[in-house]
């Protein structure tokens, strides 16, 4: 493969580079040409109505969904090239879902150590020590022997984030991680994300929490109908959106009392 | 938690089994109307002294009626001698090689050996079939078709017919090794072939009962397809299917008797030999009792598991 072909991404070493990404489910085109680049340590928030393609974009970045067209580079590697081992890619890119998806038949500790042991080949002792360390850092040390159904939603979601972090990913994708939570539990999860952002984690966060996006994001992208309509620093995008569709969306959010 | 069971469905479209169980009317608020005590349906319902007295009287009346029919029927004496003669029952149980009949009590061991061997083989074979049927890769297409034909065939053909076909047919082929096995081995093979078709469907239901998001969560962590199946999907699937699985095994235990037609001296065959040489059917009663001794504990154990599972799901849903 010669330079300038599939192996090289357009410019510099980006954490994530997406070019002309299309994704269809049957006749339904969910992503209609996404271009996005994310610098290392950058925090991007994706905002937009339900069905705008935020979740699908994240799932494509993690190779959970086969894409219809376009290119994705993660950490300089073209992950849409033929012969890419999706498992290796996913080990470097953590994703956390709206619905936690903890493994209900395992304790918190086993949830967190499973992938490091079975996918990275870490020894159980090593993985357990690392997991305890992470759980302790995020205030979950006393929950390590509990089963997920004994935890509150906020605790479950924090465990899900810790589970992803245990793989020591270089990029974290977060798909509306607070949407399924009771309002009083949202803060504990957002605080954890703030901490990760402060620690320099590269993150792409799909969220409906505009206040959080404003605080934490380096850049906010507004999606509608499978396209990035507008992007920019939160101060700019939230206060003086240029595109009429962005304005309409933000007005609805304000009217709903969500900002 | 809402008390309006209708509102639980469709709020998020998820197929949470606990929610479905609740919505289906198994919720705690419904439990009372079925005479339960919040711990599920029980043989003896709660309700204090009065209920105990009523259930005792009712039991005595039913027993008295059954006993009356049994003892007062015109042919009662002959019937009792033919089926419940203690001397014959004992004779059939211990057997007498000099008189040419086998011990039914000894022969039941062959049934036990057959179903234990078959159960192990069934658990493996049916899992393989279920996984093939669940596969999505285009490469697996011919195997999926074969697995489907296999399941359709063995579920559709009467077990007795398969016993004859294999037990008489395979020896007739005069193949090395394959054609020279004992009727016990053919019996185990037939039971395995036939029951694997049923049990593979049970496995499949179990695999389907694990939500797709669990697969996504496992794969997103970088676990391989196999690791996700082995550590995340199968353990949950198997936990969900233990009751129906045991149910199939209860019926397997009885069906070992069909292998008797090939000449294997299992309990029913031994009882038949006794009956035809002494002209007394008490040996069949012995065989029936022995089969009941085998199946009833497993049936009660299955009930307990189902109950435990139901309670666990309820407890989960209450949180």
Res B50: pLDDT: 87
Asked if A97 and B236 come within 8 Å (Cβ–Cβ), the reply is no
pLDDT tens track for B3-58: 343 333 333 434 444 434 333 333 333 333 333 444 445 665 566 788 889 999 99
How many Å apart are CA B287 and CA B283, to the nearest integer? Answer: 6
CA B316 to chain A, closest CA, distance in angstroms equals 6
- List the one residue out of B126, B262, B123 whose CA is nearest residue B187: B262
CA B38 to chain A, closest CA, distance in angstroms equals 21
Res B70: pLDDT: 87
Q: In terms of CA atoms, which chain B residue is nearest residue A92? A: B222
CATH number at residue B242: 1.10.3720.10
Write out the residue range of the structural domain in which residue A42 sits.
Answer: 16-255
How many Å apart are CA A153 and CA A165, to the nearest integer? Answer: 18
**In chain A, how many domains are there?**
1
Q: Which of B214, B231, B239 sits opposite A114 (nearest CB)?
A: B231
How many Å apart are CA B18 and CA B312, to the nearest integer? Answer: 9
Burial tier of A35 (Cβ tally within 10 Å: 0-12, 13-18, 19+): middle
ipTM (interface pTM): 0.86
How many Å apart are CA A242 and CA A158, to the nearest integer? Answer: 36
Res A253: pLDDT: 87
Residue B209 lies in a domain: yes
Contact list, B221 vs chain A (CB under 8 Å) = 90-91, 94, 114-115, 119, 163-164, 167
Res B43: pLDDT: 64
Average pLDDT over residues A84-101: 91
Contact list, A150 vs chain B (CB under 8 Å) = 319
pLDDT tens track for A51-66: 899 999 999 999 999 9
pLDDT tens track for B120-174: 999 999 999 999 999 888 999 999 999 999 999 999 999 999 999 999 999 988 8
Residue A130 lies in a domain: yes
A182 part of contact set with chain B, CB < 8 Å: no
Res B223: pLDDT: 93
Share of chain B above pLDDT 90, in %: 56
How many Å apart are CA A54 and CA B290, to the nearest integer? Answer: 64
Res B99: pLDDT: 86
Residues A258 and A178: beta-carbon distance below 8 Å: no
Asked if B316 and A88 come within 8 Å (Cβ–Cβ), the reply is no
Res B47: pLDDT: 66
Asked if A90 and B316 come within 8 Å (Cβ–Cβ), the reply is no
Q: Which of A97, A120, A150 sits opposite B217 (nearest CB)?
A: A97
DSSP string, B127-170: HHHHHHHH---GGGHHHHHHHHHHHHHHHHS-HHHHHHHHHHHH
Res B317: pLDDT: 55
pLDDT tens track for A96-152: 999 989 999 999 999 999 999 999 999 999 999 999 999 999 889 999 999 998 899
B221 part of contact set with chain A, CB < 8 Å: yes
Residues A61 and A18: beta-carbon distance below 8 Å: yes
**In chain B, how many domains are there?**
1
Alpha helices in chain A (DSSP H): 54-61, 86-92, 108-118, 124-137, 153-165, 183-198, 210-216, 234-239, 244-255
Q: Is the pLDDT of residue B316 over 80?
A: no
* CB within 8 Å of chain B, chain A residues 111-150: 114-115, 118-120, 149-150
Q: Is the pLDDT of residue A8 over 90?
A: no
B22 CB neighbour count, 10 Å cutoff: 23
DSSP B96: B
Average pLDDT over residues B193-207: 95
Res B46: pLDDT: 60
Residue A168 lies in a domain: yes
Res A1: pLDDT: 38
Q: Is the pLDDT of residue B313 over 80?
A: no
Q: Is the pLDDT of residue B97 over 90?
A: no
CA-angle at A77, arms to A76 and A80, nearest 5°? 135
B223 part of contact set with chain A, CB < 8 Å: yes
Res B161: pLDDT: 94
CA B119 to chain A, closest CA, distance in angstroms equals 25
CATH number at residue A225: 3.40.50.300
pLDDT higher at A83 or B197: B197
Q: Is the pLDDT of residue A229 over 50?
A: yes
- List the one residue out of A205, A105, A136 whose CA is nearest residue B217: A105
Write out the residue range of the structural domain in which residue B311 sits.
Answer: 103-318
DSSP B230: I
* CB within 8 Å of chain A, chain B residues 231-250: 231-232, 235-236, 239
pLDDT tens track for A149-181: 889 999 999 999 999 999 999 999 999 999 888
Residue A100 lies in a domain: yes
Tell me how long chain B is: 319
pLDDT tens track for A198-222: 999 999 999 998 989 998 999 999 9
How many Å apart are CA A73 and CA A15, to the nearest integer? Answer: 8
How many Å apart are CA A64 and CA A58, to the nearest integer? Answer: 9
What is the four-CA torsion angle of A68, A74, A78, A80, rounded to 10 degrees? Answer: -20
Asked if A114 and B214 come within 8 Å (Cβ–Cβ), the reply is no
With a CB cutoff of 8 Å and minimum separation 6, the contacts of B207 are B130, B131, B134, B233, B234, B237
Q: Which of B14, B213, B316 sits opposite A97 (nearest CB)?
A: B213
Asked if B231 and A120 come within 8 Å (Cβ–Cβ), the reply is no
Q: Which of B221, B227, B231, B315 to mutate to test the interface with A (most CBs of A within 10 A)?
A: B221
Contact list, B220 vs chain A (CB under 8 Å) = 62, 64, 90, 94-95, 164
Contact list, B222 vs chain A (CB under 8 Å) = 87-88, 90-91, 115, 119-120, 167
Residue in this structure with the two tokens 């984690």, named with its chain if needed: A201
């Amino acid at each position: 493969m010669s330079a300038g072909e599939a192996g090289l991404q357009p410019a510099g070493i980006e954490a994530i580079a997406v070019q002309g990404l299309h994704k269809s489910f049957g006749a339904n085109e969910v992503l209609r040409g996404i271009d996005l680049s994310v610098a290392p340590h950058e925090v991007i928030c994706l905002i937009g109505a339900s069905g705008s393609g935020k979740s699908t974009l994240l799932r494509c970045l993690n190779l959970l969904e086969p894409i219809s067209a376009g290119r994705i580079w993660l950490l300089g590697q073209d992950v849409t090239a033929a012969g890419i081992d999706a498992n290796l890619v996913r080990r470097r890119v953590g994703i956390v879902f709206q619905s936690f998806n903890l493994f209900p038949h395992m304790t918190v500790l086993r949830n967190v150590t499973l992938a490091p042991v079975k996918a990275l080949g870490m020894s159980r002792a090593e993985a357990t020590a690392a997991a305890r360390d992470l759980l302790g850092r995020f205030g979950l040390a006393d929950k390590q022997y509990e089963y997920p159904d004994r935890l509150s939603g906020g605790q479950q979601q924090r465990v899900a984030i810790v589970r992803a972090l245990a793989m020591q990913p270089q990029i974290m994708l977060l798909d509306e991680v607070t949407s399924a939570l009771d309002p009083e539990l949202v803060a504990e999860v957002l605080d954890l994300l703030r901490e990760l952002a402060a620690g320099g984690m590269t993150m792409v966060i799909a969220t409906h929490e505009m206040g959080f996006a404003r605080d934490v994001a380096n850049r906010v992208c507004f999606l509608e109908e499978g396209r990035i309509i507008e992007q920019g620093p939160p101060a700019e995008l939230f206060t003086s959106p240029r595109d009429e569709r962005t304005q309409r969306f933000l007005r609805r959010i304000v009217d709903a009392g969500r900002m | 938690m809402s008390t309006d069971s209708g509102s639980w469905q469709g709020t998020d479209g998820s197929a949470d089994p606990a929610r479905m169980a609740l919505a289906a009317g198994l919720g705690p608020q419904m439990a009372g109307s079925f005479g339960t005590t919040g711990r599920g349906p029980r043989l003896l319902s709660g309700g204090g002294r009065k209920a105990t007295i009523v259930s005792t009287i009712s039991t005595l009346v039913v027993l008295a009626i059954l006993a009356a029919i049994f003892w007062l029927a015109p042919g009662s004496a002959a019937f009792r001698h033919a089926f419940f003669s203690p001397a014959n029952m004992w004779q059939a149980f211990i057997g007498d090689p000099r008189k040419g009949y086998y011990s039914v009590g000894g022969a039941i061991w062959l049934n036990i050996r057959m179903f234990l061997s078959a159960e192990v083989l069934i658990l493996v074979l049916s899992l393989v079939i279920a996984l093939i049927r669940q596969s999505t890769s285009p490469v697996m297409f011919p195997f999926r078709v074969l697995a489907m034909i296999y399941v359709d065939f063995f579920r559709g053909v009467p077990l007795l017919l398969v016993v004859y076909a294999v037990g008489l047919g395979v020896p007739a082929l005069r193949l090395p090794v394959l054609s020279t096995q004992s009727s016990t081995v053919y019996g185990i093979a037939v039971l395995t072939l036939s029951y694997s078709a049923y049990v593979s469907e049970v496995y499949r239901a179990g695999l389907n009962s694990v939500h797709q998001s669990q697969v996504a969560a496992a794969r997103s962590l970088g676990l391989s397809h196999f690791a996700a199946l082995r550590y995340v999907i199968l353990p949950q699937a198997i936990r969900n299917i233990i009751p129906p699985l045991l149910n199939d095994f209860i019926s397997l235990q009885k069906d070992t008797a069909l292998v008797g037609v090939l000449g294997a001296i299992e309990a029913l065959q031994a009882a038949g030999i006794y009956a035809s040489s002494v002209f007394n059917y008490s040996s069949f009663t012995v065989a029936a009792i022995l089969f009941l001794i085998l199946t009833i504990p497993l049936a009660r154990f299955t009930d307990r598991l189902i109950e435990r599972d139901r309670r666990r799901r309820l407890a989960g849903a209450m949180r």
